[in-house]
């Protein structure tokens, strides 16, 4: 049986600036997003009709799943049947600010474009994908991009860096719409550093830290703890959280830092060593 495997890389936001609330209810943003080595996998095999399979508890298998939404968009726009069984292998945690579901949707579009031999330009796939979710157009390109609008205006950039990082996520997730909704009225916590971190490869700053830290004080404490560690070059929350990014001075330091974080912060932390870019 022929199996087509599509890799759905997760992402981090290297910076995220909120420009204000738009007339359509979304917030205007400017953000630089980069793919990372942590990824889900989608396995496509021919079937009598489309169906989605995933054995991870809590992953919806109905029409609300973003993979299924992507398939429906592709079917509508091309007229293709898209008769495949899709096995979704999840590695990217939910509610982490890493774009797992959006990445899966984009991977489905890329896979169908290849399997159905439709040769749809990537720019067109990105346009189609904007209705699925604000981050999906970025994932269609699968490269480092500057994004504007509500995130759907995507410009791939030349970013010749590869960063070593440790991702750390507590057991809880953060609801993205709630984080944006709370942004305007949120205030900074005294003693927490929200400022720009300027590095050789660019700037790290995240305007969503203010509302998210106000609701989840532990994330603020985690950031300050990371910034105090010798192994860490820079540290910040990714997207709307709850994942924190620790940019490492050397990849060999990752496991030592992860062990110390679990010992001193939370023994249940999910940690993962990744390459960014």
Q: Which domains does the chain have, with CATH numbers?
A: 4-156 (3.30.230.10), 163-276 (3.30.70.890)
pLDDT in tens, 222-256: 999 999 999 999 999 999 989 999 999 999 989 99
pLDDT in tens, 88-108: 999 999 878 899 999 999 999
- Name the DSSP class of 104: H
Percent of the chain with pLDDT strictly greater than 90:
89
In this structure, the number of other CB atoms found within 10 A of the CB of residue 20 comes to 9
From 128, 47, 60, 73, select the one nearest 100 (Cα to Cα).
Answer: 60
Q: Does residue 243 contact residue 272 with C-beta atoms inside 8 Å?
A: no
Alpha carbon 102 to its chain's center: 7
Could you tell me the pTM of the whole model? 0.93
| Contact partners, residue 118, CB within 8 Å, separation at least 6 | 78, 80, 112
Q: How far apart are CA 175 and CA 94, in angstroms?
A: 10
pLDDT in tens, 126-185: 999 999 998 999 999 999 999 999 888 999 999 999 999 999 999 999 988 899 999 989
Q: What's residue 47's pLDDT?
A: 97
Q: Does residue 176 contact residue 208 with C-beta atoms inside 8 Å?
A: no
For the annotated catalytic residues, the residue numbers are 11, 135
């Amino acid at each position: 049986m022929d199996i087509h495997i599509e890799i759905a890389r997760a992402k981090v936001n290297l910076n995220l600036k909120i420009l204000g609330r738009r007339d359509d209810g979304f917030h205007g943003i400017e953000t630089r997003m980069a793919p990372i080595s942590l990824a889900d996998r989608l396995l496509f095999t021919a079937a009598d009709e489309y169906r989605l399979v995933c054995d991870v508890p809590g992953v919806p298998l109905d029409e609300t799943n973003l993979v299924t939404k992507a398939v429906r968009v592709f079917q509508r726009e091309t007229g293709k049947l898209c008769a495949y069984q899709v096995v979704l292998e999840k590695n990217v945690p939910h509610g982490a600010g890493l774009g797992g579901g959006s990445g899966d949707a984009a991977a489905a579009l890329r896979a169908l474009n290849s399997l159905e031999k439709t040769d749809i330009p990537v720019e067109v796939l990105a346009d189609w994908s904007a209705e699925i979710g604000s981050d999906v157009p970025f994932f269609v390109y699968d490269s480092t991009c500057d994004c504007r609008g509500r995130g759907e205006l995507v410009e791939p950039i030349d970013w010749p860096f590869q960063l070593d990082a440790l991702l750390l996520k507590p057991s809880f997730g953060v609801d993205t719409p709630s984080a944006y909704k709370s942004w305007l009225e949120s205030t900074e916590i005294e003693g927490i550093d929200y400022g720009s971190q300027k590095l050789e490869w660019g700037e790290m700053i995240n305007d969503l830290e203010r509302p998210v830290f106000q609701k989840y004080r532990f994330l603020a404490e985690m950031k300050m703890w990371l910034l105090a560690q010798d192994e860490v070059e820079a540290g910040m929350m990714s997207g709307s959280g709850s994942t924190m990014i620790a940019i490492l001075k050397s990849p060999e330091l990752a496991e030592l830092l992860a062990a110390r974080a679990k010992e001193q912060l939370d023994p249940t932390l999910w940690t993962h060593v990744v390459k960014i870019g």
